[in-house]
Chains A and B, each alone.
Chain A
């Protein structure tokens, strides 16, 4: 079964939780006990409709305040696909959660309240999804029931959004506009009679027709070694297998590979998954690889094809999304986790920061605060093997860990 991960984005009250609840309801994915609970609580609150946001807002504080605080993952499936939707919070201070949601998704739904149109937050949500190179973006113009399903309003919002698109860096992003009412169900799963002027697909139809292979950005194969398997049993006495996940492209038996950082050459001998051996390890599969030669490879090393080397360097510039209340300042040191590899990184220079309303950049910056996005140069204590993020979503990204608190304090996308 194909799996499609979708992140939602939009300001508070734009209807993200309601939209997800509506999808669950219309695809008959809500079990009768869950539906009963929603009916009961909606009645208690005195609503004359079903409050579908109750299906996703799982924390006590969320239900009390009627807002989403933390990312929730919602699951449902159709005949063709399994879907995982991340319900992300809309508050400005939760931008870090949005970056997180987008990092693991292949598609995003950006909600706009038809009464409010494109606002500063829309700009931010689009920018983040473009920065993270999410392939499929749906702009759902919601609450159409509150603007009489007006085609003019829809067109105006669409035109405003298209102005934002002119500035985008990632041009290959597919962007689709859909007029919806999450609360009433128009164009979510079922096509609406209220929008005869809209000739496109419903939200769900759009996802159903997506080819899940196309939504991944294809790159070159990278195999970061997670774990070295040495059974040391009689049967597998000399077995030395490299366990890991293949990213970007595929690797096959017989491929000539180079182990980094040692730069030693060898050839792929076998590819295992459990007790089965395979000719080819496809993208995103977790396998165990053995090599023809007995070379020294350990966790954090990387196998790549001989004719396709990544950049091997101790310094790079990246776009950073800062996620901690303690500021990032020039000279600070962090643990930098690049895939499964960890090194020490020092902030060499902060070049510029993206303006909070995404209208431009601010130069001469000395510190980054929570939710800032900026361009930063790092120096490392050891070389790593990376690709620019635009060529390789996995091998071009990293996280920063504060060695005092051990928290993940930032995410980076190598330029």
Chain B
């Protein structure tokens, strides 16, 4: 038996508390799982929150069809090992049904199309709480996000009219048709997440570690050259580079970084020394200063 819990990470205590509140206050919660490090961390926190019982809600992946294959393989393995329920809804279906239109051209991405598929899935399953891995340090509009963030029937975020959150108390009361987005790791930084993954020995997809990959350069960023998914000009030359990914979104909007960090300890060190923010490698945020705020108002994660 260990002496006391005082050495436990205060951020972990907070996240576990939040996840338990979700299970207690809502009828049909779901954990939005992207296969990225933040949502993998959430799964571990949820395991901890309910041990020795199983996680009492399903995971849901909104699959753009443009994910890295490594992420999907990892997702399926994790779900199987932990005996969790996984729901997958595809952006391709929303495109086929004519609900959203595929972008084309140089910066085309399916990233923002996810919103429609997500909102449809929330309605289909009548989810009243969606747990997500967004962090306030990621982006300026996210810094304003509450832990329990109420969305209206259209999934929209009313950023100027948010509920105050006092002390530890989380108010999850909503009207029929509304839902709450819950962010248990709101107060974690990128480094906190990586340090936690290291300390807890959590397995993550291989693309987070250095590997050689066919890539090309654009706007000073390194892109994976998968011609089916990522648009590339004739004059954008493909070259092999030693890279890793710092954030794992869609192939079409996630750039790689040059790195030889092949294990978790070197990744943590690299993040510690880094002078570029995580979202610096996400083209979806670079579209404009207010890109994230706009997407959030429309119902994005």
Residue in contact with A59 in the complex, picked from B12, B174, B293, CB distance below 8 Å: B293
Quote the shortest CB–CB distance from B57 to chain A (angstroms).
Answer: 12
> Which residue in B52, B186, B191 is a CB contact (below 8 Å) of A231?
B52
Is A250 interfacial (CB 8 A cutoff)?
A: yes
- B residues near A401, Cβ cutoff 8 Å: 171, 173
A299 at the interface (CB under 8 A from B): yes
Contact A82 B192 (CB under 8 A): yes
Q: Does B144 contact A (CB under 8 A)?
A: yes
Contact B24 A340 (CB under 8 A): yes
**How long is the Cα–Cα vector from A61 to B139 in the complex, in angstroms?**
16
Q: Which of A203-239 contact B (CB under 8 A)?
A: 226-227, 229-233, 235-236, 239
Find B141's partner among A58, A253, A399 (CB 8 Å cutoff). Answer: A58
* Contacts known (A103-B167, A401-B171); A230 close to B276, Cβ less than 8 A: no
Given A70-B160, A71-B144, A229-B52: A100 and B17 interface contact (C-beta under 8 Å): no
B53 x A406 contact (CB < 8 A): no
Q: Which residues of A contact B8 (CB under 8 A)?
A: 273, 282, 285
Residue among A72, A323, A339 facing the most chain B CB atoms (10 A cut-off): A72
Q: From residue 262 to 276 of chain A, which have CB atoms closer than 8 A to chain B?
A: 271-276
- A80 in the interface (beta carbon within 8 A): no
Question: Are B143 and A279 in contact, CB atoms less than 8 angstroms apart?
Answer: no
What 1/0 mask marks residues of chain A from 99 to 123 whose CB sits below 8 Å from any chain B CB?
1100110000000000000000000
The answer to whether B159 has its CB under 8 Å from any CB of chain A is yes
Q: Is the CB of A323 within 8 A of B164?
A: yes
Contact present for A243 and B50 (CB under 8 Å): yes
The answer to whether A100 touches B171, judged by C-beta atoms less than 8 angstroms apart, is: no
Q: Is the CB of B277 within 8 A of A33?
A: yes
How many angstroms from the CA of A272 to the CA of B16 in the assembled complex?
Answer: 13
CB-nearest residue of chain B to A32: B275
Please pick, from A2, A231, A397, A411, the residue contacting B53 in the complex, using a CB distance under 8 A: A231
Q: How far is the CA of A97 from the CA of B164 in the complex (A)?
A: 7
A397 x B166 contact (CB < 8 A): yes
Alpha-carbon distance between A100 and B170 when the two chains are bound, in angstroms: 12
| Contact in complex: A84, B4 (CB < 8 Å) | no
Query: Which residues of chain A from 52 to 73 have a CB within 8 Å of any chain B CB?
Result: 56-61, 63, 69-73
A100 contacts B165, C-beta separation under 8 Å: yes
Contact A231 B54 (CB under 8 A): yes
Shortest C-beta distance, A335 to chain B (Å), equals: 7
Among B50, B168, B186: residue with most chain A CB under 10 A: B168
Contact across chains for B277 and A279 when beta carbons are under 8 A apart: no
Q: A226-B21, A282-B5 are in contact. Are A408 and B10 (CB under 8 A)?
A: no
Q: How far, in whole Å, are A333 and B3 apart by their CA atoms in the complex?
A: 46
Docked-complex contact A74 and B49, CB < 8 angstroms? no
Contact partner, A96, options B50, B136, B164, Cβ 8 Å: B164
CA distance A335 to B48 in the complex (A): 31
From A41, A84, A243, residue with most partner B Cβ within 10 Å:
A243
- Classify the secondary structure of A's interface with B: mixed
**Interface majority SS (helix, strand, loop, mixed), chain B:** loop
Contact B174 A406 (CB under 8 A): yes
Q: A340-B21, A397-B166 are in contact. Are A279 and B187 (CB under 8 A)?
A: no
Q: For A299, what are the chain B residues with a Cβ–Cβ distance below 8 Å?
A: 24
Distance to closest chain B CB from A339 (angstroms): 7
Judged by a CB distance under 8 angstroms, whether B162 is at the interface is yes
B1, B160, B175: the one contacting A69 at CB < 8 Å is B160
Does B58 interact with chain A (Cβ within 8 Å)?
Answer: no
Closest to B6 in A: A282
CA distance A97 to B2 in the complex (A): 40
Q: Give CA–CA (A255, B50) in the complex, Å.
A: 23
Chain B positions within 8 Å of A277 at CB level: 1-2
Q: How far is the CA of A82 from the CA of B136 in the complex (A)?
A: 14
- Interface residue? A394 (CB, 8 A): yes
Nearest CB of chain A from residue B254's CB, rounded to whole Å: 15
Q: Do B49 and A31 touch (CB < 8 A)? A: no
Within 8 A of A (CB), among B103-145: 136-137, 139-144
Which B residue sits closest to A97, measured CB to CB? B164
A72 touches B164 (CB 8 A): no
Contacts of B235 in A (CB 8 A): none
B5 touches A3 (CB 8 A): no
- With the chains together, A2 CA to B47 CA distance in Å? 24
A63-B289, A397-B167 as given contacts; A285 in contact with B24, CB under 8 Å? no
* B23 interfacial contact with A, CB 8 Å: yes
A332 at the interface (CB under 8 A from B): no
With A and B bound together, what is the CA distance between A398 and B167 in angstroms? 9
Residues of chain B touching chain A, judged by Cβ–Cβ distance below 8 Å, are 1-6, 8-14, 16-17, 20-21, 23-24, 47-54, 136-137, 139-144, 159-160, 162-169, 171, 173-175, 186-187, 189, 191-192, 274-277, 280, 289-290, 293
Known: A58-B141, A70-B162, A288-B51. 16 other contacts (CB 8 A): A3-B187, A56-B140, A58-B142, A59-B144, A73-B187, A104-B165, A227-B23, A229-B50, A236-B53, A273-B8, A280-B3, A280-B4, A339-B169, A340-B24, A393-B167, A406-B174
| 10 shortest interchain CB distances as A-B pairs | A58-B140, A280-B4, A231-B53, A282-B6, A285-B5, A286-B16, A31-B277, A406-B173, A33-B280, A100-B164
Interface residues of A (CB under 8 A from B): 1-3, 31-34, 37, 41, 56-61, 63, 69-75, 77, 82, 84, 96-97, 99-100, 103-104, 226-227, 229-233, 235-236, 239, 241, 243-245, 250, 253, 271-282, 284-288, 299, 323, 335, 337, 339-340, 393-394, 397-399, 401, 403, 406-408, 411
Task: Report 10 cross-chain contacts, Cβ distance below 8 Å, ordered by A residue.
Answer: A57-B140, A59-B144, A103-B167, A229-B50, A245-B168, A273-B8, A286-B17, A394-B167, A401-B171, A408-B171
